[in-house]
Amino acid sequence: MGPCSRLFVCFLLWGSTELCSPQPFWDDETERFRPSKPPAVMVECQEAQLVVTVDKDLFGTGKLIRPADLTLGPDNCEPLASADTDGVVRFAVGLHECGNILQVTDNALVYSTFLLHNPRPAGNLSILRTNRAEVPIECHYPRQGNVSSWAIQPTWVPFRTTVFSEEKLVFSLRLMEENWSAEKMTPTFQLGDRAHLQAQVHTGSHVPLRLFVDHCVATLTPDWSTSPYHTIVDFHGCLVDGLTDASSAFKAPRPRPEILQFTVDVFRFANDSRNMIYITCHLKVTPVDRVPDQLNKACSFSKSSNRWSPVEGPTDICRCCSKGRCGISGRSMRLSHREGRPVPRSRRHVTEEADVTVGPLIFLRKMNDRGVEGPTSSPPLVMLGLGLATVMTLTLAAIVLGLTGRLRAASHPVCPVSASQ
C-alpha cells in the first residue's frame, strides 16, 4: 500500500438543506466565482489506519456537537481525547478495527465504515437541537502494480459505484444534473422532483458496444436483496416504474451507444422514517451492430398513447413488458432472489455485465411537514385556552360586581332632608 493520501468526504445529513462539497460554485447574487466551504468531515487513508477529522460545527449552523455523540463503525469506537477548546474531533483506527468491512475487487481493496452522529438530550432535558447523521466512508487501495515515480493515490467514490469486468470494461451509474451536462454533486431531493440517472460503459480499446439497463431496484441500503424494495426496471429493460403515477422513462435518442439515460420520479418508502434510498442496476452490453431484442432493450411506457416504446429497435420487442414475460424465463432479479435462487455471483464478473449502485439519494423534509410534531402543537393550544378562560372569568366578575352595586343602591334609597326653620 502506498503512503497516506488526503481525501474529502461529503457528509450526509438527515433533513439537512446542504451537503459539503470540495467543488467551487457560482454565486448568482454577487455574480462571481468563489470556492465553497471546506468539508466538515475529512479522511486520511493511511497505510495501516484511517484517520477521520470532524468539525464540531458539523451542520454549519454554529451549534457545536458534543464529541460523546460521535462514534465510528459498527463497533461504536469512540474518538480520541481532546480539549474542550479544540474545534475538531479526531478518530484514528486500524483498517481492520471498529467493524470495518473489507471488500476485494479485481482492482482494489475497499475498506468501508461509517461515522455516526447520534445526539442525546443533555442533562434533564428531553429535546434535541441537532439531527442524527450517518456519514459513509470508504478507502480504496489499488491492487495493480505501480511503475511510475508517483505514489499510489487511494480514492473515495461518492454517490456511485464503478465496476471493472475481466476485460477492463468499466460500468458506472451516476446522478446527473437536469440538463445532463455534468454529474450532480449534491444528491438531495424533495418529493415531486425527478432524478436523472446515467448508465455508461467505458470500452477502452474494446469493439463498439451498446449498453442496456437489464433491471433496477431501489432499497434503503446498498444491499439490493433487502426489504422493503421498489422495482424500477424489470423484465430485461422494461422501465416499470412509469406504469404507476410516475413519469419515469428512458431518454431517447441516446447520446452514444455506450450511454443510456433515464429519469425516475423520486419517492420514499411509506411507514419508514429513513429519508435515503439506494438504486442498484444490472447493466449489460451487446455488440453495437446487434439488433435489440426482448432480452436486450430499453422500453418506456407512455400514458398518453397507452403503449410501450423502445429507445431503438423494432417496436414489438416491448410488447412483452405488458405481460411481464420477456425472453425464455421472464423472471425478474427480485423474484429469483425471493424464491431462493439469487442471480449467480459469477455474472457480476463476466465481460458483458455488472451490478452497480448509486446512492444514497437523500430526501429533504419540507418545512410544512409536521407529521412528527403533533405533540409539540398542544402547548400553544393550551395557552390559548387558558387565555380565553381568563378573559371570560374577568368579564363575568365585572358583570357580577356591577349587578351587586345596583342591587345595593336599590335597597337603600336616599331620602331628601328638609332644612329647619
Calculate mean pLDDT across residues 341-346.
Answer: 37
CATH architecture for residues 170-327+350-363? Sandwich (2.60)
Per-residue pLDDT band at 198 (split at 50, 70, 90): very high
Per-residue pLDDT band at 123 (split at 50, 70, 90): low
Residue 64 is predicted with a pLDDT of 84
Calculate mean pLDDT across residues 117-125.
Answer: 73
- 151-174, pLDDT tens digit by residue? 444 444 444 455 544 456 889 999
- 206-225, pLDDT tens digit by residue? 788 999 999 999 999 999 89
Calculate mean pLDDT across residues 127-132.
Answer: 67
Residue 168 is predicted with a pLDDT of 66
Residue 385 is predicted with a pLDDT of 60
189: nearest Cα among 62, 80, 272, 276? 276
How far apart (Å, rounded) are the C-alpha atoms in residues 90 and 51?
7
216-229 burial, b at 16+ Cβ within 10 Å, e below that, comes to bbbbbebebeeeeb
Q: Based on the number of CB atoms within 10 Å of its own CB, is 279 exposed (0-12), middle (13-18) or buried (19 or more)? A: buried
How far apart (Å, rounded) are the C-alpha atoms in residues 149 and 301?
53
pLDDT > 70 fraction of the chain, expressed in percent and rounded? 64
pLDDT > 90 fraction of the chain, expressed in percent and rounded? 38
Q: How far is CA 340 from CA 32, 217, 327, 343, 353, in A?
A: 57, 17, 21, 10, 22
Residue 391, H or E segment: helix 378-411
Q: Could you tell me the pTM of the whole model?
A: 0.49
CB pairs under 8 A, 24+ apart, for 6-9? 6/42, 6/43, 6/44, 7/42, 7/43, 7/44, 7/45, 7/154, 7/155, 7/156, 8/39, 8/41, 8/42, 8/43, 9/39, 9/41, 9/42, 9/43, 9/135, 9/137, 9/156, 9/158
Residue 21: pLDDT over 90: no
* Pair 81, 155: CB distance under 8 Å: no
- The lowest-confidence range among 180-189, 321-330, 335-344, 352-361 is 335-344
- Topology (CATH level 3) of domain 41-142: Immunoglobulin-like (2.60.40)
- 175-193, pLDDT tens digit by residue? 999 999 999 988 898 888 9
- 63-78, pLDDT tens digit by residue? 788 899 999 999 999 9
List of residues 6+ apart from 239 with CB closer than 8 A = 232, 233, 248, 249, 250, 262, 298, 299, 300, 301
How far apart (Å, rounded) are the C-alpha atoms in residues 122 and 308?
57
234: nearest Cα among 352, 327, 307, 359? 327
List of residues 6+ apart from 94 with CB closer than 8 A = 48, 49
- The lowest-confidence range among 25-39, 132-146, 396-410 is 25-39
Residues linked to residue 282 through DSSP beta bridges, in sequence order:
215, 355
How far apart (Å, rounded) are the C-alpha atoms in residues 177 and 181?
6
Calculate mean pLDDT across residues 11-35.
Answer: 40
Per-residue pLDDT band at 364 (split at 50, 70, 90): confident
- How large is the greatest C-alpha to C-alpha distance in the chain, in angstroms? 140
| Residue boundaries of the structural domains of the chain | 41-142, 170-327+350-363
- 248-275, pLDDT tens digit by residue? 999 999 999 999 999 999 888 888 888 8
Handedness of CA 325, 330, 333, 336 (dihedral sign): positive
Calculate mean pLDDT across residues 85-103.
Answer: 89
